[in-house]
Structure 1
Amino acid sequence: MNTSDVCDALLVEHLPVPRPSLRVAVVTETYPPEVNGVAVTLQQLVQRLQAGNHQIQLIRPRQPLTDKDRDACDDELLVRGLEIPRYPQLRLGMPIKRALLAQWSRQRPDLVHVATEGPLGWSAVQAARKLRLPLSTDFRTNFHAYSQHYGIGWLRKPIAAYLRKFHNLADCTMVPSSDLLHDLSAQGFERLMVVARGVDTARFSPVHRSEALRAQWGAAPDQPVLLSVGRLAREKNLDLLTRSWNAMRAVRPDLKLVVVGDGPSRNALAQACPEALMVGAQSGDDLARHYASADLFVFPSVTETYGNVTPEALASGLAVLAFDYAAAAELIRHGDNGLLAPRGDETAFLQNAVDLISNPGLVEHLRERGRATTLTQDWGQIARQVEGVWHQLLAVRQPVVQA
């Protein structure tokens, strides 16, 4: 066999067989320029799927101040939305089951993917079942866990029952971590599959560290900066953030706290931490510079489905402390590339915070190792995983009882 024959054999046997492109209807109540984890990660996924030659129909609420001259996707269906109480910057999509039935009957998608569980998502689930379309969903937000933080804990069980019914109508539900899969499975959720979340390691990178930005914060080159990123709301456990900062300042009185984010608890946090720099919500390159220009990152929330800020902070080269669940449990090895406290153990969390600020050598080690961890979490790889789930679903789909 000559060299040409060998090359031909290698090409035939070892090159992956291209998967056919899919037409997928993606339904969501939130999408950029809205700033939240669901919106940002879904946009990353949609963009990578489009780059992979899949046809995406994006169905979402119209954002009146931003959608006049903007297309988020080549094929969009914009629907009426309703502001969410306490979160006026977010909207719920109104139900449009009849419109979806008409449109999907005219141009049938290969698959429907529903990312959110609001009225728009529910109508999409109902329309997909009516037309017997393959259906996948995402479990992205712990609404039932949030209820206890807003004085409506009595709604926890009804909300959980609704979410279970919603997702059990799907052929599969994607969840971002194995611990969440186990939690939901114990609650009666069916056909669950772990699909990781990605992180943009080019955008979130130590190369974006800005001494000019640090100077605006009043931070000297050798002065440590503690960063917090996320929605400022009760369910984010902001009291523990305050206590962690105070405990760390007992060791390093010059430690600065920079808070990125906005929400209904902003004023309360500003009053509890009057010396903190409250810089509001940031996005895009500005957000990346804020991450990279800090040194330490603590994430005290215990209500995340994943917690996108954890991989973003790791990718940006920060020393990260979080509770041992969701993204942190998936990505962090305690003492190697970050620090973990048992979920809900605030005493251990505070001790870890003190240990972190007390050991500059550990901080440098965690910063380097944390960045390296995220290099395997590229969004292109995640999109290929989702694509594989969908092709598997189409190949072996079992009928689901129509609602």
Structure 2
Amino acid sequence: MSTFLHVTLITETYGPEINGVANTLGRLCDGLRLRGHTVELIRPRQGNEPAPEAPQDLMLCRGWPIPGYPGLQWGQASMHKLLRRWQRRRPDVLYIATEGPLGLSALRAARRLGIAVISGFHTNFPQYSQQYGMGFVTRLLTHYLRWFHNRSRTTLVPSVSQKLELERRGFERVELLSRGVDSQLFTPSKRSQALREHWGLHADEIAVLHVGRLASEKNLGLLKSSFEALSDSYPQHRLKLIVVGDGPQRATLQAQLPEAIFCGIQRGEVLATHYASGDLFLFPSLTETFGNVVLEALASGLAVVAYDEAAAGQHIRHGHNGALAMPGDEEAFIDAARWLLEDSETLRRVRLNARQHASRQGWNSIIEQFERQLYAVCPPENNQPGTAPVISPAPFRSPQ
């Protein structure tokens, strides 16, 4: 492919915010730019962020905080501003990563101007609402998200299980775009005996690690019960629970697990050192569209216990490079963790296999696939930079 695209990415979260969506979008943007494409980013302003120095490639809008999620926000609807902007400088294709007011206004503006749209299903909001016992909200969210995504040319999802679930619910034109991992950053070579000693562990003792947002939808009650079951089953081992991350459930968890070490949010090399200094990784979440931390833990040489879905379902072969349980079977999840600690050779072998598998899951092939998916919605005669694909705009109708 010898031509370059002008891609506009719309999102309500982006780095330095810490979550899987922001991390993935940063990788996609950087990868496209390295391949010569122009990437325009449209997102909410973060805190007291100053006006951009290069406004042609960055548009900031006002953000509104999301209740219960400090640091995350909805972007203000900006349809008329987007129309004016894109009439002056028209992108070839949009990638809408979030479905809030900003994403909706971008979808409406693009359809009015006849610009091709690809959408990404990054966050499983219907499952989140189910976790909070709001069945009626779940149905409304599913209806809205289906309406939203079916008005894009393609919806990209990160896992096979998510693709099948959306297709079952009536989502159309769903394609897979998986995730990669930086295996140079996340590597067993970052293991730190000094950090382990800081945690109160000696060389032959077990650090049980969890990394992620500490929120109700992450099923963290199972993290507590799993660790307690492991401690009871293997009194000969000295186990220590290490929790990396922050969120609304942190205070509750700290009260329930007074012996655990809570490290807060970690980034970059420090985060990689925390991963590599662990031994066993517990990931009890049932609401992931992917779960980037699973690949990061595998790349760091940890034995991962997770439910058989999303990233774990794609990348873990039970008994070979990790341990899986059927979604929702808590006793099987705990048994899988017990199996990994039955003998030191099992744990060592699984950890070696985990690293070997993850080291082959780089971002380059993901970026190449994303590039092909962007080209696919742009007719070849319109793939020159700054020109627009010829698409007959469908009339915009609000969801019923």
- Paired residue secondary structure (1:250): helix
Report the counterpart of residue 185 of structure 1 in structure 2.
167
Of 173, 180, 195, the match for 2:155: 173
Aligned to 2:369: 385
Correspondence for 1:244: 226
Unaligned runs of 5+ in 2: 381-388
Q: Which stretch shifts more, 358-367 or 161-170?
A: 358-367
Q: Which has the higher contact order (CA 8 A, sep 6+)?
A: 2
Q: Over residues 126-177 of structure 1, what are the superposed CA-to-partner deviations in whole Å (9 max), with x where a residue is unaligned?
A: 1111111010010011101111233433211001101111101100000011
* Contact 1:251–1:358 (8 Å) recurs in 2: no
Note if contact 1:176-1:197 (Cα within 8 Å) is conserved in structure 2: yes
SS at structure 1 position matched to 2:378: helix
Q: Match of 1:197?
A: 179
Q: Distance in 1 between matches of 2:354 and 2:54?
A: 32
Change (3 A) 1:71 1:338: farther
Q: What is the aligned partner in structure 2 of residue 35 from structure 1?
A: 18
Whether 2:331 is the aligned partner of 1:347: answer yes
Q: Distance in 1 between matches of 2:130 and 2:317?
A: 30
Residue pairs, 1:41-190, within 5 angstroms: 41-65=24-48, 67-68=49-50, 75-190=57-172
Choose the corresponding residue for 1:258, options 242, 246, 251.
242
Paired with 2:179 and 2:146, the residues of 1 have a C-alpha distance of 22
Alpha carbon RMSD of aligned pairs, Å?
1.7
In the other structure, the counterpart of 1:357 is 341
Instruction: Supply the distance in 2 between the matched residues of 1:400 and 1:150 (Cα, whole angstroms).
Output: 38
Q: Contact 1:26/1:113 (CA < 8 Å) preserved in 2? A: yes
- CA 1:160–1:242 in structure 2 vs 1: closer, same or farther (change >3 Å)? same
The amino acid of 2:199's aligned partner reads W
Deviation at 1:69, TM superposition (A): 7.9
Q: Alpha-carbon deviation of 1:395?
A: 3.5
TM-score, structure 1 as length reference: 0.92
1:281 aligns with one of 242, 247, 265: 265
Runs of 5+ consecutive residues of structure 1 not aligned to the other structure: 1-17
Query: Is the Cα contact below 8 Å between 1:235 and 1:301 reproduced in 2?
Result: yes
- What TM-score does the superposition give when structure 2 sets the normalisation length? 0.93
Partner of 1:401: 394
- 1:221, CA displacement in angstroms? 1.2
Q: Distance in 1 between matches of 2:392 and 2:20?
A: 32
Moved more, 134-143 or 358-367: 358-367
How far has the Cα of 1:399 moved from its partner? 5.3
Using a 3 Å threshold, how does the CA distance of structure 1 residues 395 and 360 change in structure 2: closer, same or farther?
farther
Matched letter for residue 327 of structure 1? A
Residue 402 of structure 1 deviates from its aligned partner by: 3.0
Q: Give the corresponding residue for 1:319.
A: 303
Distance of aligned partners of 1:49 and 1:267 in 2 relative to their CA distance in 1, 3 Å threshold: same
Does the CA contact (< 8 Å) of 1:225 and 1:256 recur in 2?
Answer: yes
Aligned-partner Cα distance in 1 for 2:298–2:356: 8
What amino acid is aligned across from residue 175 of structure 1 in structure 2? Answer: V
In 1, the alpha carbon distance for the partners of 2:328 and 2:199 equals 31
User: 2 CA distance for matches of 1:72 and 1:35?
Assistant: 24
CA contact (8 A) 1:25 1:109 kept: yes
2:385 aligned partner? none
Measure how far apart 1:68 and its partner are. Answer: 2.9
**CA deviation profile, 1:7-56 (whole Å, cap 9, x unmatched):** xxxxxxxxxxx441111000000001111110111101111111111100
Report the Cα distance in structure 1 between the residues aligned to 2:53 and 2:258, rounded to whole angstroms: 41
